[in-house]
Structure 1
Amino acid sequence: MILLRVFALAKVTCKEGIRDRSLFGIFLLALFLMGLNIAVAGFFMRDLGKVTVDINLSAISFAGLLLVFFVGINLMAKDIDKKTIHLVLSKPFSRAEYIWGKYLGLVLLVMTTLVVLLVLSCATVTAVHGMYPGFFGGFSWEVYFWAVAFIGFQLTLLCGIVVFFSTITTSSFITLIFSVATYLVGISLEEVLFYLKGQAASKDVVASEALHSFLEVVAWIVPNFAAFDFKVEAAHGLAIESGRLAISAGYGFCYIVLLLWLSTVIFRRREFN
């Protein structure tokens, strides 16, 4: 019965997201970027295959981010902003079921959108490959699909972050700011730490110990979104080790479960006026 109630709420959330007009704008933007790739492919004759793969994966990732930030946050905040949360919770839904149902609805919406974008992306790559077959020597569809799969994993983790911040804030705008900031820190922190360690080894620029300690603490708190980024491997046709895939997937899964558990604990204690 619990699973049925959670699935019912997830289904309703997904349908609300599909009816959102912003979704069609995101699709058109992604389609434009992929179509632009075909139009300008001839300008990158030396690395045409790499550029094509990178543009398509970036278009999928960017469209997914827009979907989570603008459609997903709105779906989470709608019940609270419009006070319909009282009507939802008056039905046989526990607060934990509400959190899980909303999260799974967002994930279902993201995965549905991702499948459509993947089909469009495959058509674009196939078209450019047919026009310039000599520039795709190292391309691998398997690595490409893995890269798209982990873009999806990245977005599911971001959905968990959106749900978490939605439970502790009273404004969708604040949720958006916190979610975007978390993503920007998570996607760039690994490179910052690598740079500082490299500078410390070469003794060109020595950062303070306090800064190193602070960044290390932040690295433990903020999810490392770079762990799910396989665009470079897909663009260059490099094989991805199965161990790396397993570690990234396990890391993301554990972080999502932790976020949803914290969200449930906070949401149970929250009062609505």
Structure 2
Amino acid sequence: MKKKESFYLLVIVLLFVICTGCISDRTPEKVTIPDGQFSSYEINLSADNLTNSTTYYLYTDKKNKTTQAVTTIVNTSTLNITIQKDISAHAKSKEEYGIEDLVIIANFSCDNKSDRSNFSSLSNTSYNTSYYESSTTKMISIEFAQPTTGFVACSFSGEFGYFHQLLTRNETIIVVLPPKHSTGNIILGGITKPKKPDETYTDENNRLCLLWNNPYPDKTIIDIRYYKSILPAILTITVLVLGTCILIISLYYSNEIRKLRKKRELINSKIK
């Protein structure tokens, strides 16, 4: 009897583990992420006063890659890039690690711009990458041989019109929407997490930029729905046209009903 009870208990434990997704978790493994081209990213090597930050550039014209992330690191030994599984599921990386086109520009001082003149020396940075997968996320950990200052850029895919990103470190977050796109419409959707950026501005390419100053650890997720800037106007015009049509039809049928009632009353009066 005890053996039977132990067997049932074991089955219950296994079912619980499977349901919680623990079996699908994997221990970190050393991997190689395909390199990308520096020219594919918007990286400003001459930037002053470098601080920890990540800028997410959202696109609608890049095949299978809707997001490019450019992270600035300052005296950093390890950088973790975390992507939710349902977002990275469409990534076309051969190893399907969630990101691709990895570019690392480092080995220079924040105070000495002359160190940044030789691109080949900047890109020759010693680091290792490892991959960890849980039931809901994919994480790439980049470990540098020594504390490093510079830039880390990568690309990944997501749903057009929807940006979802997990936050894992204390840094400035900037989300750059595609040109002629906006967010915040009460019907079409907007920013759900965090509720409101600390700053909103338009860059030199006429793109709407949303900035949060160090939202982590108070906020761990950024959720944004974005759409073409003209859509709210189209929606408003459509609602007005439909409303006008409904009003005209209602008035027409109301008038016809009144006429029919008068005719019926006239007929009834003649019969009497």
State TM-score, norm by structure 2.
Answer: 0.26
**Which is greater in Rg?**
2
Which TM-score applies when normalising by structure 1? 0.26
Higher helix share: 1
Say which structure is richer in strand.
2
Larger relative contact order, structure 1 or 2 (CA cutoff 8 Å, min sep 6)? 1
